Structure 1
Amino acid sequence: MTPTLKLAWQSLLNRKITALLTVLAIAISVTLLLGVEKIRTETKRSFLSTLSGTDLVIGARTGPVQLMLYSVFRMGNATNNIDWKSYQHLQQHPLVKWTIPLSLGDSHQGFRVLGTDQGYFTHYQYGDHQPLKIRQGKVFADIFDAVIGADVAKKLGYSVGESIVLAHGAGKTSFMKHSDKPFTVVGILAPTGTPVDQTIHVSLAGIEAIHLGWENGVPAMGKPRVTAEQARQQALEPKTITAALVGLKSKIATFRLQREINEYKDEPLTAVLPGVALAELWSLLSVAEHALLIISAFVVATGLIGMLTSILMSLNERRREMAILRSVGARPVHIFSLMMTEAGLLATIGCTLGVSLLYLLMLITQPIISNYYGVALAITPLTHYEWLLILIIISSALLMGLIPAWRAYKNSLADGMTIRV
């Protein structure tokens, strides 16, 4: 430790209450800035990796963002459905490798119900091409089997073998329930950090079965209810579906098939590239993203201004200290260096404490954020950009330290040993 650094450290210890408050102010501002940056980058990564390995998302004619919202994020409802014959035509297309039908419209205690087929568990991927995994049980095989996401199981306390009743509509409260045809939970998916965790998966035949005898979203008046056993005896091929995920044999054919679907003559359809649509959807959130960063930057600036104020307020009290240093051989430049070192120490300690506090908070809040918001907040080392932010904060502290350092330098020249107290 150099003499100047040692002297600066001793000086801060002599003013430990003021120094501690200054360090805490800087630490909290650094924690907020880096925390916002971490959450922003992790949320964006989780958001953009919600769906991977899928080449096209197909739905009725609508905007790309709306199609992604209801088909992938289970938010909102489709303006129209896809005719089952159109889906079969797509399924048999020579360029198509696999398809996953999606049927939405029902719920269970606020969680969306998705009707699909077993190909969903084979071809659906998220993150870095990670497949879905069954944590307990198995995929559905019977008409009235259900596979639930990790969040559904955790929040509702469900386990394999549980009996559940689906409700018509997507609201948290519904008075139109399919209580005559309960489903049995046969599988629970492993956590994915995506909307899959908050979804109840059933077969397309199951969706058709619970709506037998229904008209315009309500049971048909004057007609007897179709029992579960009667439903099993009927043809349960769907008439329409909400959307479809498509994987192609060759990536080169993506734009060709997209254009072909968008120009489909039998009914108006929309085909979107998931990556492009997700990026467009995220861009809509960029205003809030930038606003958070700006607010965090102002908080950091406030912490540094507090440091500057603290040092400036102590200058008058420390004029005798500076005079004594001059008397033992310190030159004005040494006084200048001392003040700059103090500013650098305060900023460095504050940043170190801020980073430590950030990782402590991440350890505590990681399961909470994953549970309530579906964002997998990975605890990773600081990125180059985050190190750059810390370097900018310390550099800004040193720049602000120039003001009290220059004043101390001038005072030491003017006072010498003639200071009046």
Structure 2
Amino acid sequence: MSIYRLALASLANRRNTVLLTIVAIALGVTLLLGVERLRGEARESFANTVSGVDLIIGARGGSMQLLLYSVFRIGNASSEMSWKSYEKIAGDPKVAWALPFALGDSHKGFRVLGTSAAYFEHFRYGQKRNLRISAGKQFSELFDAVLGADVARELGYKVGTSFTITHGVGDAAFAEHDDKPFRVVGILAKTGTPVDRTIHVGLDGIVAIHIDWRGGARVPGLWITADEARMMNLRPKTVTAVLIGLKSRRMAFKLLRQINAYSPEPLTAILPGVVLHELWRALGTVERALTVVSILVVLTSLLGMIAMLLAGIDGRRREMAILRSIGAGPRHVFALLLLEALILTALGILLGLAFLYGALAIARTSLESAIGLQISIG
């Protein structure tokens, strides 16, 4: 009998122990590769919080600060850039599209973003995925609002709900624009990005609610109704940030230098992908934690497999004695044990891969809808 047939016969004779060993190896492989896949996808998802944007422009300040308030809605801009500068940059021949952002207001802790209707056409996340309206439509009227998925879920708002915007953010939010309520006309599908926790309104809507305000307070004696605001010139004077898409990405560095040396007013332009990777490195605790989990999974799996193999060998002393008695030398016994271990490992890895891809196929939709994490099967 060849050593291969002998190994298979020996494994078949110990089918229960062999099955447990294969399952243990498979679970270890599944956990190890699963954690590694989640770590990689989490890093990739973070890096693709905003996708297809070549430059982000704001008033002069730190690149990290600009990224945080324009993309993650964290913190506030120290100053704003003029509308005239926005128009000049948007009209540059190298620019394909430009999305103006107006930030600084909120509603029950959620940031309000004033932008143009082109936002829904050009803004991308993940692997250049478009924003998708899960209910209702995009804003088109002055006081229309489109909610992120988390905003709608946590506040219980639906299409048709009316609400008012608070002037300021967080502890600085002190006054309601209660004379000009907004109405929910759309709710975005889950993205797993800060978009989910953002209330989107038209840029002219932001101008309208501040038209009778000066210096962060309502002008005494001046009261402009919503209907009167509709009849007025609602051209913005400033914007908080601008997202830029270029006709050719090769022009990114040229425009970057051009904007950072912009003479009419001090501006800062950043490459979002570069700054996102810098931010991920600065916040690398999550990745390090997942790496530690991966190491622990490997050690646990190895120890479990070794313990099972040693227990199996201890119970096979009689089998080995019989093999030696019929002329099998130490090399043959060692080769038999090695071949069995290789077969067990190969079967465990194959079963682990099957478990992994099966779990990914089942869970990917739930993960994407729950936390917006996109996991590829391939």
Does the 8 A contact of 1:42 with 1:377 survive in 2?
A: yes
- Relative distance call for 1:133 and 1:371 in structure 2 (3 A) is closer
- Relative distance call for 1:324 and 1:67 in structure 2 (3 A) is same
Matched, 1:68 2:67: yes
- Relative distance call for 1:176 and 1:30 in structure 2 (3 A) is farther
Equivalent of 1:13 in 12, 15, 30 = 15
- Relative distance call for 1:138 and 1:292 in structure 2 (3 A) is closer
Cα distance in 2 for partners of 1:32, 1:197 equals 30
Question: Could you tell me which amino acid in structure 2 is paired with residue 74 of structure 1?
Answer: R
Query: CA-to-partner distance for each residue in 1:165-223, whole Å, 9 max, x for gaps?
Result: 33334449966433332211223344545433432210112112223444554556x54
1:48: which partner in 2? Answer: 47
Percent identical pairs in the alignment equals 50
Query: CA-to-partner distance for each residue in 1:343-401, whole Å, 9 max, x for gaps?
Result: 334433443443344345435543453345332223x13xxxxxxxxxxxxxxxxxxxx
Cα distance in 2 for partners of 1:345, 1:169 equals 65
Length-normalised TM-score, structure 1: 0.77
Equivalent of 2:280 in 269, 279, 282 = 282
- Relative distance call for 1:232 and 1:29 in structure 2 (3 A) is same
Length-normalised TM-score, structure 2: 0.84
1:81: which partner in 2? Answer: 80
Equivalent of 1:269 in 258, 267, 270 = 267
Query: CA-to-partner distance for each residue in 1:44-79, whole Å, 9 max, x for gaps?
Result: 333333333333210112232332222123233223
Does the 8 A contact of 1:54 with 1:247 survive in 2?
A: yes
Query: CA-to-partner distance for each residue in 1:308-330, whole Å, 9 max, x for gaps?
Result: 23323444443222112333454
Q: Aligned pair count?
A: 376
1:370 is paired with a residue of what secondary structure?
A: helix
2:110: which partner in 1? Answer: 111
Greater RCO (CA < 8 Å, at least 6 residues apart): 2
Does the 8 A contact of 1:4 with 1:337 survive in 2?
A: no
- Aligned-pair Cα RMSD in Å: 3.2
- Relative distance call for 1:61 and 1:181 in structure 2 (3 A) is same
1:298 is paired with a residue of what secondary structure?
A: helix
Question: Residues 8-407 of structure 1 correspond to what in structure 2 (within 5 A)?
Answer: 8-13=10-15, 15=17, 20=20, 22-171=21-170, 176-214=175-213, 217-219=216-218, 223=221, 226-286=224-284, 288-363=286-361, 365-378=363-376, 380-381=377-378
Cα distance in 2 for partners of 1:219, 1:330 equals 97
Report how far residue 159 of structure 1 moved.
3.6
Does the 8 A contact of 1:104 with 1:114 survive in 2?
A: yes
Cα distance in 2 for partners of 1:8, 1:174 equals 74
Query: CA-to-partner distance for each residue in 1:147-170, whole Å, 9 max, x for gaps?
Result: 223444455454432323333344
Is 31-40 or 291-300 further displaced after alignment? 291-300
- Relative distance call for 1:165 and 1:345 in structure 2 (3 A) is farther
Cα distance in 1 for partners of 2:273, 2:39 equals 18
Question: Could you tell me which amino acid in structure 1 is paired with residue 89 of structure 2?
Answer: L
Q: List runs of 5+ in structure 1 lacking aligned partners.
A: 382-421
Query: CA-to-partner distance for each residue in 1:282-328, whole Å, 9 max, x for gaps?
Result: 33344642452243123212321232233234444432221123334
Cα distance in 1 for partners of 2:16, 2:40 equals 41
Cα distance in 1 for partners of 2:140, 2:114 equals 13
Does the 8 A contact of 2:115 with 2:201 survive in 1?
A: yes
Does the 8 A contact of 2:190 with 2:369 survive in 1?
A: no
Larger C-alpha radius of gyration, 1 or 2?
1
- Relative distance call for 1:312 and 1:133 in structure 2 (3 A) is closer
Question: Could you tell me which amino acid in structure 2 is paired with residue 96 of structure 1?
Answer: V
2:14 is paired with a residue of what secondary structure?
A: helix
